[in-house]
Amino acid sequence: MQLTHEENQFERKTFPITLICDNIYFQQNIGSLFRISEAFGVENIIFLGKDIPLTPRKINKTSRSTHLHVLHTIIEETSALVTYLLQNNFEIIALEIASNSKPLKEVNIPENQKIALIIGSEIDGISDDLLKIANQIVHINMFGKNSSMNVVQATSIALYELTS
């Protein structure tokens, strides 16, 4: 028998993970990122960029009201984000296919360390400025002809790996 939302037996838990969204603008993706972040106990979401469309009416359909429960902020300038991440001693993990990336399964999560998981824009991926400060760059192994996946799907896989 299927359980209702109230009957599920999952432990409520928050992880010291901040999701960094590098110039993500598609509203359906933003709503879905709130939803998956809430499901995986992400502590905070930072949206990097100008004019990020965080209008709840438009993201509510995919977020299913989770945008009301996940802490989030917007930082407009990359330099301000870099300063924040470095000053607050985050383990910075970039989710990107790069010449120096390693498989996600090989990610090294230091104990008692806050994690900043950087995900890239739907078109350009993660900026070079953010890749330069990453402690680790990881990718998801894929076995088809396509070499990329939707940012929400990739984030879901990464958050599962980081929290399990």
Q: Which residue has the tokens 């002809």?
A: 145
Average pLDDT over residues 46-55: 91
- The whole-number pLDDT of residue 58 equals 74
The enclosing H or E element of 3 equals none
Q: Where are the domains of the chain?
A: 15-163
Average pLDDT over residues 58-68: 78
Average pLDDT over residues 48-54: 91
Strand 71-75 and strand 91-95: pairing? unpaired
For 61, the 3-state DSSP assignment is helix
Residue 4 — very low, low, confident or very high, per pLDDT cuts 50/70/90? low
Average pLDDT over residues 7-19: 79
CATH topology of domain 15-163: Alpha/beta knot (3.40.1280)
- The whole-number pLDDT of residue 44 equals 96
